[in-house]
Structure 1
Amino acid sequence: MTALAFADLHHADRPLLLLPNAWDHASATALAAQGFRAIGTTSLGVAAGAGLPDGASAVRDETLRLALTLGTEPFLLSVDAEDGFSEDPDEVAEFARELSAVGAVGINLEDRLGPATLHAAKIAAVKSAAPDLFVNARTDTYWLGDGDGEDTRARLDAYRQAGADGVFVPGLTDPGLIATLVRHLDAPLNILYSPAGPTVPHLADLGVSRVSLGSLLYRRALGAALETVAEIASGRSPRGAAPSYGDVLALSRPDASGPPRAARRT
């Protein structure tokens, strides 16, 4: 699966790219089995699974390890790399090169409202080290800031000039502002889905190229686990669908090594 194929999914003549975000091998392959050609990762899910904080540049190794696990699977993999796990553009570029080498075709890089010049330097370094990697440049003007539209546009323009292939504005949910930003940009716009925001068909009508689910699936899965144990403790049968043991086992890689498994487990 090539980076060119991933970039092609963002073109205006294509249907909107709905990108679900996985946190491990099973979640990624289960999503791919539902027909999703491209899968992203969620930094919150990866961090929480390792008992580490999200957004603190603490999961570089875990992120690379997951990319190594998923990079050879038959779907297009885009990796949430937080801010690149470093303030040094050369170190961020090296991490991007490693991701590309293990099969990732996209990377998500967030500015955390730091200097736009620094984030632009990271993007330029990544494109130099891994030119085929689709760089989705995220600005947190709406996610962490006050939603300054002028600052948002200035940052995204700088990131595009640095070589970003697409741009990402999580926290932006106002349909009018989204449409205005689409008209301003010369690059695919990625929006983070919000249950309180526009629906996916509405976002497509607004001209959005890509919608990410972020940590939503991970948080919903965790919520379902808590609801299930509460129902069982209360003497009720848990509601909702659950894959069987065999269904989950089937998501394992055929060449995975390990001790023989019992024929039937819970």
Structure 2
Amino acid sequence: MTQAEKATQFAQMHQPGNPLVLYNIWDAGSAKALVDAGAPAIATGSWSVADAQGFVDGEKLPLEIAMMNISRICKTVDVPVTLDFEGCYAVGPTGVARNVTQAMKMGAVGINFEDQMIGGKGLHSEADQVKRIQAAREAATEFGVDLFINARTDLFLKEANRDWHAGLMPQALERLAAYTDAGASGYFIPALVDPELIGRICEAATIPVNVLMMPGCPSVQELADLGVARISHGPWPYRRMLEELVVRFKEDTSA
């Protein structure tokens, strides 16, 4: 398949009620392992990719290493690959467009794009994030690939007290509408685990809704019943791999 065909195929995998389950990987080897196991698409996780290279999350991994890594993944597997691009390593629309183009040149057909201020506090204003999404969409159009822009809102991730998540819903729904109009392909709501609130967002959305599988989250079937179209596993596959590595090491080297 061409890159454009992979992008189309990837978008079609997002079906409300029959979610695409993405077990986030961190390098070409882990990508190949999942494809060999039957994964129809591959998604990186920024935390895992950074940690695997000795960096912390939050765009501390140099952009050139991130691009090298996604390039190797795309060259290793013949399925759609989406990049967890955090804030696209840029603040202004011009930088966003430049870096999104670079990611597509490496072979990516999708990105996760956060609205939090990387390295700062709070979120980009809705108006600013709209301009950033529009820049990413314009770059994709110019490149000739219908990039799947998974617009992530960090409203819920920034609020550790889940009892207050209901109060964030008006902002979340407003951003959903604004990001959709700006050209987003999907809406990612990490840290929201309340089934009623997830269901409300799915009902309001005209684009696929992505949920992060984490402690306290409904099951895959429950999320499907709510209308979720995509489920991500974030850093947990990598963390479990490390735990298993340490356990095996201790077992095999113990006296």
1:1-40 Cα distance to aligned partner (Å, 9 max, x none): 420111111134x731001111011101101111111110
Question: For 1:226 and 1:153, how far apart are their aligned partners in 2?
Answer: 43
* Structure 1: distance between partners of 2:155 and 2:45: 20
Alignment partners' CA distance in 1, 2:134 and 2:74? 23
Structure-2 separation of matches of 1:57 and 1:160: 29
1:43–1:82 contact (8 Å) kept in structure 2: yes
Deviation at 1:50, TM superposition (A): 2.1
Partners of 1:22 and 1:40 within 8 A in 2: yes
Q: Match of 1:130, SS?
A: helix
The corresponding residue for 1:124 is 134
Counterpart contact for 1:169–1:191, Cα < 8 Å:
yes
- Candidates 241, 247, 254, aligned match of 1:227: 247
Which one-letter code corresponds to 1:225 in the other structure?
L
Q: Secondary structure at the match of 1:67?
A: helix
Q: Is the 8 A contact 2:44 2:82 kept in 1?
A: yes
Instruction: Report the AA paired with residue 140 of structure 1.
Output: D
Q: Is the 8 A contact 1:21 1:42 kept in 2?
A: yes
2:101 pairs, out of 66, 75, 97, with 97
Indicate the residue corresponding to 1:242 in structure 2. none
Distance in 2 of aligned mates of 1:46 and 1:104: 15
Report if the CA contact (8 A) 2:156-2:190 is conserved.
yes
What is the CA–CA distance in structure 1 between the aligned matches of 2:127 and 2:87, rounded to whole Å?
Answer: 14
- Which residue in the other structure is 1:245 paired with? none
For the residue of structure 2 that corresponds to 1:53, the secondary structure is coil
Aligned 1:59-208 pairs, distance under 5 A: 59-72=62-75, 73-112=77-116, 113-131=123-141, 132-145=146-159, 147=165, 148-208=168-228
Residue 225 of structure 1 deviates from its aligned partner by 1.3
Q: Report the Cα offset of residue 57 of structure 1.
A: 5.1
Give the Cα separation in 1 of the matches to 2:137 and 2:171.
24
Please state which structure has a larger fraction of its residues in helix: 2
Query: How far is 1:231 from its partner?
Result: 2.5
75-84 vs 44-53, which deviates more? Answer: 44-53
Q: d(CA) in 2 for partners of 1:47 and 1:210?
A: 23
Among 214, 218, 224, the residue aligned to 2:234: 214
8 Å contact 2:211–2:232 — kept in the other structure?
A: yes
Instruction: Please report the RMSD computed on the Cα atoms of aligned residues, expressed in angstroms.
Output: 1.5
User: Would the alpha carbon gap of residues 152 and 169 (structure 1) be closer, same or farther in structure 2, given more than 3 Å must change?
Assistant: same
Aligned equivalents of 2:14, 2:213: Cα separation in 1: 16
- For the pair shown, the structure with the greater C-alpha radius of gyration is 1
Residues 115 and 57 (structure 1), Cα distance of their counterparts in 2 relative to 1, 3 Å cut: farther
Q: Deviation at 1:234?
A: 3.6
Tell me the CA shift for residue 185 of structure 1.
1.0
Give the Cα–Cα distance (whole angstroms) in 2 for the partners of residues 62 and 82 of structure 1.
Answer: 14
CA distance in 1, matches of 2:54, 2:254: 29
Aligned partner of 2:38 in structure 1 is: 35
Letter in 2 for 1:164: A
Deviations 1:155-179 (A, max 9, x none): 1211111100100000011111111
Which shows bigger deviation, 39-48 or 64-73?
Answer: 64-73
Taking the aligned partners of 1:23 and 1:59, their CA distance within structure 2 comes to 15
Normalising by structure 2, we get a TM-score of 0.87
Paired residues of 1:166 and 1:187 also in contact (CA < 8 A): yes
Quote the Cα distance in structure 2 between the aligned partners of 1:119 and 1:57. Answer: 21
Cα offset for 1:114? Answer: 2.2
Corresponding position of 1:253: none
**Which structure 2 residue ranges, 5 or more long, are not aligned?**
117-122
